[in-house]
């Protein structure tokens, strides 16, 4: 029972990442009708915002101490971070919490990047075939990926969890299990809670604000909304920026779980696109539900007992489920009639 609970938690936090990326993909497709294969690259850029902030906060001054020598007879180097020298304990705290602090940078950069991408490139492909959209956005993703590789190298860059959350929580005690029977890393719990908050906030924004209602109306009937004198194009540009922000902050918070590297966006994009298709193209609820569902299935498929019976099943379970769902429900779990059927 304890092992099953651990796999469930693992699936939920993994599914949270899938759901966040899939939500952005679905927002863009539902509003603009564009299949954005550069969305995974935005997730990756968000992760590298954390890398940039950490590097910026850890610039250091090196002073040689002539009174103390190393084993090789050279003066000992005394390294002091500038931010700790300037701000003392608060500077140390900023370095420790560099990942959460990076969210501020990611929101700004991703919003600007999303708006520039939509204005400069995506809007020219609104009425083009989906194949053209996929080709162009996939090419853009490759370009971004290679730029990041050239700047930061090909190797993963580990990001530390804040010391306060570096341990594990004894969840089992809260559920009546023995002490230390079910322990789970604090940061994974925080990521799951973060994903739930972001997803809930986006849904609340679209459901209960005037802006959100206009966007939802535009998703259903863009021409009619335009005839009412509403500048729907500007609102859809903001939605594209919002989708980029969601993917970016998801990437930032995932860095202590998976060290950022230049191809992580492509890895998540493929899985998240499968999530979108399974949930139903254009369905926000379907994308979120499928994200968590497939994350849980992938987690349970990775158990030793399952892998001993079906070797490698954890690598293909998502794709097998996608095939079955599309055979039974061609539009996905919650897909709308007419979406991508022309």
What is the pLDDT averaged over residues 9-26?
87
What is the pLDDT averaged over residues 194-218?
86
Select the more confidently predicted residue: 223 or 188: 188
Select the more confidently predicted residue: 196 or 307: 196
pLDDT above 60 (res 207) = yes
Averaged pLDDT score across all residues of the chain: 84
Read off the pLDDT band of 342 (50, 70, 90): very low
What pLDDT, on a 0 to 100 scale, did the predictor assign at position 71?
Answer: 67
Read off the pLDDT band of 340 (50, 70, 90): very low
What is the pLDDT averaged over residues 174-201?
85
Among 40, 156, 157, 160, which Cα is nearest to 100's? 160
Backbone angles phi, psi at 11, to 5 degrees: -65, -35
Number of Cβ atoms within 10 Å of the Cβ of 330: 9
pLDDT above 60 (res 338) = no
Read off the pLDDT band of 73 (50, 70, 90): low
Q: Alpha carbon of 247 to those of 76, 115, 125, 213, 295: distances in Å?
A: 44, 14, 21, 22, 17
* 61, 85 contact by CB (below 8 A): yes
pLDDT in tens, 105-164: 999 999 999 999 888 888 888 778 888 888 888 899 999 999 999 999 889 998 989 888
For the chain, percent of residues with pLDDT exceeding 70: 93
How many angstroms separate the CA atoms of 259 and 276, rounded? Answer: 25
Read off the pLDDT band of 1 (50, 70, 90): low
* 110, 243 contact by CB (below 8 A): no
What pLDDT, on a 0 to 100 scale, did the predictor assign at position 249?
Answer: 93
Q: How far apart are the first and last CA of the chain?
A: 47
The highest-confidence range among 51-65, 168-182, 327-341, by mean pLDDT, is: 51-65
pLDDT above 90 (res 51) = yes
Read off the pLDDT band of 217 (50, 70, 90): confident
Residues pairing with 64 in the sheet: 77
pLDDT above 90 (res 252) = yes
Read off the pLDDT band of 191 (50, 70, 90): very high
How many angstroms separate the CA atoms of 50 and 29, rounded? Answer: 28
Burial of 212 (0-12, 13-18, 19+ CB in 10 A): middle
Backbone angles phi, psi at 60, to 5 degrees: -135, 155
For the chain, percent of residues with pLDDT exceeding 90: 20
pLDDT above 90 (res 45) = yes
pTM of the model: 0.85
Q: Alpha carbon of 285 to those of 13, 95, 132, 149: distances in Å?
A: 17, 37, 27, 35
pLDDT above 70 (res 222) = no
The highest-confidence range among 2-11, 254-263, 304-313, by mean pLDDT, is: 254-263
CATH class, 2-328 region: mainly alpha
């Amino acid at each position: 029972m304890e092992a099953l609970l651990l796999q469930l938690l693992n699936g939920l936090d993994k599914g949270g990442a899938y759901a966040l990326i899939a939500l952005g993909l679905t927002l863009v497709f539902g509003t603009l009708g564009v299949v954005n294969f550069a969305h995974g690259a935005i997730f990756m850029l968000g992760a590298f915002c954390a890398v940039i902030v950490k590097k910026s906060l850890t610039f250091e001054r090196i002073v040689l101490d002539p009174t103390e020598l190393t084993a090789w007879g050279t003066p000992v180097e005394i390294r002091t971070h500038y931010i700790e020298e300037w701000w003392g304990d608060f500077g140390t705290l900023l370095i420790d919490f560099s990942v959460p602090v990076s969210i501020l940078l990611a929101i700004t950069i991703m919003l600007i990047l999303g708006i520039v991408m939509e204005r400069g490139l995506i809007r020219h492909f609104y009425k083009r075939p989906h194949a053209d959209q996929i080709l162009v956005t996939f090419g853009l993703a490759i370009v971004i990926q290679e730029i990041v590789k050239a700047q930061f190298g090909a190797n993963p860059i580990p990001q530390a969890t804040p010391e306060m959350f570096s341990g594990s929580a004894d969840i089992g005690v809260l559920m009546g299990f023995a002490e230390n029977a079910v322990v789970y890393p604090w940061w994974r719990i925080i990521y799951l809670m973060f994903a739930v908050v972001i997803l809930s906030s986006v849904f609340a924004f679209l459901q209960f604000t005037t802006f959100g209602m206009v966007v939802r109306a535009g998703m259903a009937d863009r021409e009619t909304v335009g005839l009412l004198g509403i500048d729907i194009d500007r609102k859809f540009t903001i939605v594209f920026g919002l989708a980029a922000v969601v993917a970016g902050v998801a990437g930032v918070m995932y860095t202590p779980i998976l060290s950022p590297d230049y191809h992580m966006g492509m890895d998540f994009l493929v899985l998240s696109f499968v999530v979108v298709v399974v949930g139903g193209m254009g369905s926000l609820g379907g994308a979120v539900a499928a994200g968590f569902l497939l994350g849980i299935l992938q987690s349970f498929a990775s158990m030793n007992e399952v892998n001993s019976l079906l070797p490698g099943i954890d690598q293909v379970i998502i794709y097998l489920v996608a095939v079955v769902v599309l055979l039974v429900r061609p539009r996905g779990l919650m897909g709308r009639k007419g979406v991508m059927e022309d």
